[in-house]
Each structure stands twice: as structure tokens, then as C-alpha cells.
Amino acid sequence: MTPEDIIKRYYEEESELYTLLLTHSISVATKALEIVRMHPEWKLDENFIREAALLHDIGIYQTNAPEIHCFGKYPYICHGYLGAELLRNEGLEFHARVCERHTGSGITRESILRNRLPLPARDMLPETLEEKIICFTDKFYSKSHPDKVKTVEQIRKSLARYGEDTLTRWDEMIQLFYE
């Protein structure tokens, strides 16, 4: 079963949300694959990167974000772990980990508890190169403005409100993928 088939299981094909999700996810996948191809020494699985990038936001339809055509009951920040649950039910554990760990530059258990986030109290930090690449490339593309690509500095500025640990992880990704 392809990622597109899985997405169609949860999304109405002709809906605005389906189009928005695919547009965003294809942009993320394209940028992720560019990074992978710049680093053949990492020997990463391009097919997995493509699939995981296409599926990383599959849980958004369950959230309440009307500005991007999501009319679910959960806060938007929950889309990663909700999507991970869907992908685990599909038997896609490694894809689910990407889904769960891509929000911000990852979210720590400490941050979840300190900020009383409506998330399971556990670390959701990207660990593998694949998880980090998709987490990183996701930040360049907003679903509310799918036609625009954010700059590294714009992303850094938007992540700053989440604390120094978030910025440190972002800066580590910049060094890994851009320098």
C-alpha cells in the first residue's frame, strides 16, 4: 500500500484539506530528498524518506484548525501523536515515529509537563537522521501559506518562543543539514 493510498483512507480526495496536505507533504518530501542526495555517505533509504514525509501530517484532520480546513476535536499540536497512532494501526512503526517526533524541533517530556501541553507525557524528539531530516524540512513549509518557503531565520524566530532547548535542537539541525 502506498502513502497516497493510506492518505485516501482518511481524507476525502477532492477536499481542500486533502489538496493542502498533499501539497505540503510533497514539498517536505522534495526538500528531504534533496538533503539525502547531498549526503550519499549516510546511505539512507530514499523510499522510506519519501513515504514518511508524505505521511508525517496524516493526523491533522483530527485537529481543530479551521484556517487550514481541519474540523476535528483536538488541538493542532496533537496532530503528530494522533497521526502516529493511525500509522501504528497500519503497521508502520518507523513512519509513526517520524510523525510523532516532527513537531517543532521535537518536544521534550519536560516541556510537555511545564507548559501543560495536551500531549502524552513523553519525549517526542527526532532521534534518527530520517526523523531529523523530515522534522527539519517540514519547518520550511506552512500549511496556511503553501506557496511560500520560509527562510532559516524566519523559522528560528518562530521557534524561539518555545525556549532555548528548541532553538538548540534547530541550530544542531542547521549545522547537520546546511553547513
Range(s) of the domain holding residue 39? 3-178
Instruction: Give buried/exposed letters for 85-117 (b at 16+ CB in 10 A, else e).
Output: bbbeebebeebbbbbbbbbbbbbbeebbeeeee
- Domain of 99, CATH number, reads 1.10.3210
How large a percentage of the chain has pLDDT more than 90? 94
Q: What is the pLDDT of residues 156-175, one digit of tens each?
A: 999 998 889 999 999 999 99
Look at the chain and report how many structural domains it folds into: 1
pLDDT of residue 178: 81
Q: What is the pLDDT of residues 100-154, one digit of tens each?
A: 999 999 999 999 999 999 999 999 999 999 999 999 999 999 999 988 999 999 9
Question: Does pTM top 0.85 for this prediction?
Answer: yes
pLDDT of residue 35: 97
Contact between 17 and 34 (Cβ < 8 Å):
no
pLDDT of residue 179: 62
